[in-house]
Amino acid sequence: MPDLSGQHAIVTGGGSGIGLAIAQALAGAGAEVTITGRRKQALQDAADATPGLHPLVMDVTDEAAVVDGFAQAVAARGPIAICVANAGIAEGRSLHKMDLAFWRKILATNLDGVFLTLREALKTMRDVPAGRVIAISSIAGVRGLRGAPAYSASKHGVIGLIRGLSEDYMGGHITFNAICPGYVDTDIVTRNTAEISERTGMGEDEARQTMIRANRHKRLMEVSEIAAAALWLCDSASKSVNGQCIEISGGQT
């Protein structure tokens, strides 16, 4: 367990699912963690339940909100040492049925949102002795995901951004890595099950079974499994891990 006492972390989409599990793990290691999202109540509930979590309403698709949100967080808790760009949406649609608005919605959250988040984080990370940037991509960032080309494109883009940053800031005091989960049991999977069922005509249980079967261990993963990897990436023991994408998927790819 790393000692993150006194470090300020920010986790986008930290009010639920994987982001909340990561935020709780970082707070458990002593960090003060700003958690962001659009749903004020979800953030407040999370902060009330776990000491060390601090809610901040911030839509990652809104440039002014991200600039202002980071300024507020830094003013309250100092420069960011750990930034976890986790906020994302997952919706599927075949390309020939996709309008530009749908494409832009996915890219605006999953890729533009990561760009805006990391840009503001890097401005403040100059002032910390050691920084950690972690982006939550997906196995859809290393292979295609059937029925979800826009999502796959956005998650491939996240890995490209992380690799590019690790080159740009090579030799510096910040590491940049992506985590690529397979199916994790969160609201996204529940929503996707309903959406796949509606799109393909298969029952919801069958859609869920498809996701379970994709994992060679025949299970949906738990958020704690992703949080454990994020925590390790924040440890000084992993300081030489840079520009990588760590797949956690039960051998899905």
Q: Name residue 246's beta-bridge partners.
A: 179
Q: Is 189 in the site for ligand NDP (CB under 6 A)?
A: yes
Q: Which of 138, 155, 131, 126 is nearest to 242 (CA)?
A: 131
Q: How far is 63 from 142, CA to CA, in rounded Å?
A: 27
DSSP secondary structure of 230-251: HHHHTSGGGTT--SEEEEESSS
Binding-residue total with ligand NDP (CB under 6 A): 30
- Identified binder of ligand NDP from the candidate list 86, 175, 242, 252, rule CB under 6 A: 86
CA atoms within 13 A on the CB side of 145: 29
Q: Which of the stretches 10-18, 25-33, 91-99, 232-240 binds ligand NDP when contact is defined by CB under 6 A?
A: 10-18
Strands (E), 14-130: 32-37, 53-57, 80-85
- Identified binder of ligand NDP from the candidate list 22, 31, 37, 148, rule CB under 6 A: 37
Q: Is 213 exposed, middle or buried (0-12, 13-18, 19+ CB in 10 A)?
A: exposed
**Least distance in angstroms from the C-beta of 173 to ligand NDP:** 26
Q: Is 183 in the site for ligand NDP (CB under 6 A)?
A: yes
Q: Is 157 in the site for ligand NDP (CB under 6 A)?
A: no
Q: Is 109 in the site for ligand NDP (CB under 6 A)?
A: yes
Helix-, strand-, coil-residue percentages of the chain, each rounded to 5: 50, 15, 30
Q: How far is 188 from 186, CA to CA, in rounded Å?
A: 5
Q: Which is nearer to ligand NDP, 168 or 187 (CB)?
A: 187
Q: Is 184 in the site for ligand NDP (CB under 6 A)?
A: yes
Q: Which of the stretches 38-46, 92-100, 168-176, 227-235 binds ligand NDP when contact is defined by CB under 6 A?
A: 38-46
Is 151 assigned a catalytic role? yes
Q: Which of the stretches 3-11, 13-21, 92-100, 117-125 binds ligand NDP when contact is defined by CB under 6 A?
A: 13-21
Radius of gyration of the chain (CA): 17
Q: Is 215 in the site for ligand NDP (CB under 6 A)?
A: no
Max CA pair span of the chain: 53
Q: Which of the stretches 98-106, 115-123, 161-169, 178-186 binds ligand NDP when contact is defined by CB under 6 A?
A: 178-186
Q: Which is nearer to ligand NDP, 89 or 130 (CB)?
A: 89
- Identified binder of ligand NDP from the candidate list 24, 55, 59, 195, rule CB under 6 A: 59
**C-alpha angle 236-240-244 in degrees, rounded to nearest 5:** 115
Site string for ligand NDP, 135-154 (x = CB under 6 A): -x-x----------------
Q: How far is 21 from 25, CA to CA, in rounded Å?
A: 6
Which residues are marked as active site?
Answer: 151
Query: Residues in the site for ligand NDP, rule: CB under 6 A?
Result: 12-13, 15-19, 37-39, 42, 59-61, 86-90, 109, 113, 136, 138, 181, 183-184, 186-189
